[in-house]
């Protein structure tokens, strides 16, 4: 069964609150990675604005993120595209869409390296162990999960997601006062109670894991959608090995370099989505014989 068919099968099955929470948890776990969970994203992009402006910027980001995710899910289900990557051409046209078809998997591949770097920083900071232990351990866990396939992947990270979001909200809001730590939210937890830091260190690693897994899966899926093929398995292995080398870079530096660049690309994609959803649709509806597909 094709990967997108698996997703729609899961969504079309008789829904219950347990399934909804699990699917929502998978999305949250996918979004909350090392950058946000450690507090680095908050410190890098919000802290310098001050308390109230940071909260305002966070509210705007939340609304945009919610609209972005809901729009992608709704249009993806409505269009039933043969290749999910065709959604970029739908929003941005043939050539910009083609750019995004390759840019996004490359970005996700880089994010896997960031997650591995974050795992190394967390293990080194809290447990005092060699950072490579954290990186390699995270790489192995990520690879094994990706090899299980999409359906099992969603169930695994969906179960972890609700737990992560609870800890992340608390630590993310508090991390606005911390400026000079490699893993700021972990430093906050340690200043409150050592036990809290111990639990939160595990939550950080879980957040990195639940982001690294779908990121690697998406990058592999760009090579081939056949999860049982030798090509898929070899591709996943090679990508995780390369990510381990990328994960040797300093975590804070990677977040500060990769995320801003991708943010600008995200604005371009959102502009294309707004044009397609509202401006082009309105124009075609007012044209004789115009229709919107």
Structure-model confidence comparison of residues 280 and 235, the more confident one: 235
Structure-model confidence comparison of residues 104 and 24, the more confident one: 104
pLDDT tens per residue, range 196-209: 667 777 878 888 88
Structure-model confidence comparison of residues 129 and 185, the more confident one: 129
pLDDT, position 139: 93
pLDDT, position 124: 87
Q: What angle do CA 22, 232, 34 make, to 5 degrees?
A: 45
Structural domain includes residue 52: yes
Structural domain includes residue 90: yes
Torsion of CA 111, 236, 156, 124, to 10 degrees: -50
User: Quick one: average pLDDT of 160-168?
Assistant: 72
pLDDT tens per residue, range 75-103: 888 888 777 778 888 888 889 888 888 88
Structure-model confidence comparison of residues 159 and 68, the more confident one: 68
pLDDT tens per residue, range 247-268: 888 877 777 777 778 888 888 8
Structural domain includes residue 281: no
Distance from chain centroid for Cα 292: 31
CB atoms within 10 A of CB 169: 11
pLDDT band for position 140 (cuts 50, 70, 90): very high
pLDDT, position 283: 55
pLDDT band for position 149 (cuts 50, 70, 90): confident
Residues written for the chain: 293
Structure-model confidence comparison of residues 210 and 19, the more confident one: 210
pLDDT band for position 22 (cuts 50, 70, 90): low
pLDDT, position 293: 41
Structure-model confidence comparison of residues 287 and 45, the more confident one: 45
pLDDT tens per residue, range 37-75: 666 676 767 777 777 887 888 888 888 888 888 888 888
pLDDT, position 33: 62
Give the residue numbers spanning the domain of 162. Answer: 3-8+17-273
Cα 138 to Cα 3: distance, rounded to the nearest angstrom: 24
pLDDT, position 2: 47
Domains contained in the chain, number: 1
Structural domain includes residue 283: no
Q: Could you give the residue ranges of the DSSP H alpha helices within the chain?
A: 3-12, 17-31, 34-37, 40-45, 51-79, 86-92, 94-122, 131-148, 150-174, 184-192, 194-223, 230-246, 251-274, 280-285
Structural domain includes residue 282: no
Structural domain includes residue 216: yes
Instruction: Please provide the average confidence, as pLDDT, over all residues in the chain.
Output: 76
pLDDT of 239 > 80? The answer is yes
Report whether 276 contacts 91 (CB < 8 A).
yes
pLDDT, position 154: 75
Structural domain includes residue 56: yes
Structural domain includes residue 280: no
């Amino acid at each position: 069964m094709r990967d997108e068919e698996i997703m729609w099968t899961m969504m079309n099955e008789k829904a219950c609150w347990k399934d909804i929470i699990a699917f929502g948890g998978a999305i949250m776990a996918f979004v909350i990675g090392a950058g946000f969970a450690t507090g680095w994203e908050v410190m890098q992009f919000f802290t310098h604005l001050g308390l109230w402006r940071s909260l305002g910027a966070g509210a705007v980001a939340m609304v945009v993120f919610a609209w972005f995710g809901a729009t992608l899910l709704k249009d993806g289900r409505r269009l039933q595209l043969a290749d999910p990557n065709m959604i970029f051409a739908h929003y941005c046209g043939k050539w910009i869409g083609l750019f995004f078809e390759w840019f996004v998997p490359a970005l996700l591949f880089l994010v896997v390296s960031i997650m591995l770097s974050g795992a190394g920083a967390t293990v080194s900071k809290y447990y005092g162990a060699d950072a490579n232990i954290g990186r390699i351990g995270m790489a192995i866990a990520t690879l094994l999960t990706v090899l299980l396939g999409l359906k099992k992947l969603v169930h695994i990270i969906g179960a972890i997601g609700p737990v992560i979001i609870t800890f992340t909200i608390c630590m993310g809001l508090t991390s606005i006062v911390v400026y000079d730590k490699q893993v700021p939210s972990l430093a906050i937890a340690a200043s409150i109670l050592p036990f809290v830091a111990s639990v939160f260190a595990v939550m950080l690693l879980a957040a990195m894991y639940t982001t690294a897994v779908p990121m690697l899966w998406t990058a592999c899926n760009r090579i081939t959608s056949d999860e049982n093929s030798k090509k898929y398995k070899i591709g996943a292995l090679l990508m995780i090995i390369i990510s381990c080398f990328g994960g040797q870079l300093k975590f804070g530096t990677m977040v500060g370099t990769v995320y801003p660049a991708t943010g600008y690309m995200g604005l371009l994609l959102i502009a294309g989505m707004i044009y397609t959803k509202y401006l082009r649709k309105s124009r075609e509806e007012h044209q004789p014989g115009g229709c919107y597909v």
